[in-house]
Chains A and B, each alone.
Chain A
Amino acid sequence: MNHLQLVLSGLFVGSFYALVALGYSMVYGIIKLLNFAHGDLYMLGAFAGFIVLSVGAGALGGGFIALIAIMIVAMIATGGFGMLLERVAYRPLRSAPRLSVLITAVGASFALEYGIAVGFGPTPEVYPIGVQDGTLHIANAQITYAQLAMMAIAVTLMVALDTIVRKTRSGRAMRAISQDPKACLLMGVNVDRVISRTFFIGSALAGAAGVMAGAYYGKIDFLMGFIIGLKAFTAAVIGGIGNLRGAVLGAIVLGLLESFGGAYLGSEWRDVFAFCFLILFLTVRPTGLLGERVTERV
């Protein structure tokens, strides 16, 4: 068994799980909604990238510049759609019971999946991106430069997000809303606008992950977001839902678990393995690895 190889693939898969899990966790943190359509935004990102590739394949050429350009377009498109989803489907239900919003999210998920199925057909599309040039060999393991580049992009996005949330005025407002949205109104925070922004950022990250997945697996289909949505949820729970660094940690742990679990038990057991961990964490440590550490005085 080539352990280094397993670590490398675990980290790669973990890095794009992390991008999806971050959005999941952000949205949960700010409006306490498990956005079941989040995985479908990732799928939408992959399709946005696919459209750009199909239309501008010649103009863009191959290589990393093209990959980055496609990612940016996909992120903006997916982010915009995420905002629209919030505006149309979730905002009108802001004061409705939690369950109504949850059911709406499930509905939105189906609408996105079968909407794309109608538009593009149910058969998988081949992702026409050609960045398979060159492979880096480390000891007896290997990783393509394309994968390395995508991981670097993922890490850059995560660091940027972390900085935004920790250091900026917007980020402060996001954290404050996740604690007490009503008090935020009294601070003069336009809560609706901050929530919109949160959806944009979270969805854009999922869009980036969608492009990465398309480039990595080589094909995309309208249901690709379903399982990744559940995986991102698992990652967010492992890390401690609502906690952004936790989501990244959970995603990497999950990526590695899957990679090793798949190698030792057979790859058909990969998803079983992942969801067993979800159940394990939900029963044994529902606050996750980095759950609330704060002591509050009343």
Chain B
Amino acid sequence: MVRNVLDIKSLEVTYGKVEALKGLELTVGDKEIVALLGNNGAGKSTTVSAISGVVRSRAGTVTAYGEDITAATPWSIVERGIVHVPEGRRIFSRLTVHENLQLGGYTVREGTLVDKRITRVYEHFPRLAERRHQQGGTLSGGEQQMLAIGRAMVAGPRLIMLDEPSMGLAPLVVAQVMDAIVSINQSGTAVLLIEQNARAALKIAHRGYVIDSGRVTLTGPAAELRADPQVVEAYLGA
């Protein structure tokens, strides 16, 4: 039996009295790109935050490679190779680009492995190499997104979860970010991609989920979702 990278069963999360997730079901298979779509407040960010352990769930289970990680600490989840690139990138603005990348490898014990992965990130994103000694806060939005993705790659993820990576970026830059995601996936990392930009996300995803008010309302292969009248109307425009 091929184990799924990620299995989420009836996940419930509440913020005070507000129910953000009401029994969410989601899986990510090996080497898959899965798009998670939905309107603002549908529960997309809550879903990834619950997976990465920064938000606690009230009920339900999160399983990674058959191992229950529902109650695991955020750092032990990163150690398991599940890395969350947060919304708004959250670059350490007063640390240099290089230090940001080093911090991405915090859970990696061997320093040489961290250096090797950082070198690979620089090959992938030459702009970051040029700016390695600059403070993170001085980068442009697109560069910061590259840095956020590169930083996550230094952890050596098996699953990378990206929360709105195209937010606030020019169309050309969005295309670059999507290309980067595809190439990360081709090197064997599974991807869970949250996007407002459903068109861009469904172009590269294998499967997709549409969630609304904390529940999955629609799921299927990306090609089917792209053609689904409901999706077209709600997320892809006419």
Contact = CB atoms under 8 A, between A and B. Distances in A.
B23 interface: no
A175 B93 CA distance: 11
A294 B103 contact: no
A94 interface: no
Nearest to B161: A186
A285 interface: no
Contacts of A175: 92, 94-95, 99
B104 interface: yes
B25 interface: no
A185 B95 contact: no
Interface in B50-101: 52-54, 73-75, 77-79, 83-86, 90, 92-95, 99
Given A187-B106, A188-B106, A296 B90 contact: no
A179 B78 CA distance: 20
Given A172-B103, A173-B103, A186 B90 contact: yes
A189 B73 CA distance: 10
Contacts of A180: 90, 92
A137 interface: no
Interface residues of A, number: 20
Give the secondary structure class of A's interface: helix
B102 interface: yes
Contacts, number: 76
B204 interface: no
Nearest to A186: B84
Given A188-B155, A189-B75, A176 B86 contact: no
B132 to A, nearest CB: 15
B94 A185 contact: no
Interface stretch (B37-45, B134-142, B189-197, B213-221): B134-142
A294 B52 CA distance: 31
A95 interface: no
A186 B100 CA distance: 12
Nearest to B114: A169
A295 interface: yes
Interface string A146-181: 000000000000000000000001001101100110
13 contacts: A169-B102, A169-B106, A173-B106, A175-B92, A179-B92, A180-B92, A186-B54, A186-B84, A188-B74, A188-B155, A189-B75, A189-B106, A190-B73
Given A187-B104, A188-B78, A176 B54 contact: no
B151 interface: yes
Given A186-B83, A186-B84, A189-B75, A297 B90 contact: no
B6 to A, nearest CB: 16
Contacts of A184: 103
Contacts of A294: 93-94, 135, 137
Given A172-B102, A188-B79, A188-B106, A183 B73 contact: no
A181 to B, nearest CB: 11
Nearest to B88: A183
Interface of B: 52-54, 73-75, 77-79, 83-86, 90, 92-95, 99, 102-104, 106-107, 135, 137-140, 151, 155
Nearest to B140: A297
A182 interface: yes
A196 B85 CA distance: 26
Interface in A259-298: 294-297
A180 B136 CA distance: 13
A182 B54 CA distance: 8
A173 B107 CA distance: 11
B95 A172 contact: yes
Contact of B93 (A179, A186, A189): A179
Contacts of B77: 188
A190 to B, nearest CB: 5
A186 B161 CA distance: 11
Given A173-B106, A175-B99, A295-B138, 11 more contacts: A169-B106, A172-B103, A175-B95, A179-B95, A185-B52, A186-B54, A186-B78, A187-B78, A187-B107, A188-B77, A190-B73
Contacts of B137: 294-297
A185 B54 contact: yes
Nearest to B74: A185
A202 to B, nearest CB: 20
A295 B106 CA distance: 26
B153 to A, nearest CB: 12
B96 to A, nearest CB: 10
B90 A183 contact: yes
A176 B135 CA distance: 12
Q: Which 3 pairs across A and B sit closest by C-beta, in order of nearness? A: A188-B78, A188-B107, A183-B90
Contacts of B102: 169, 172
Nearest to A188: B78
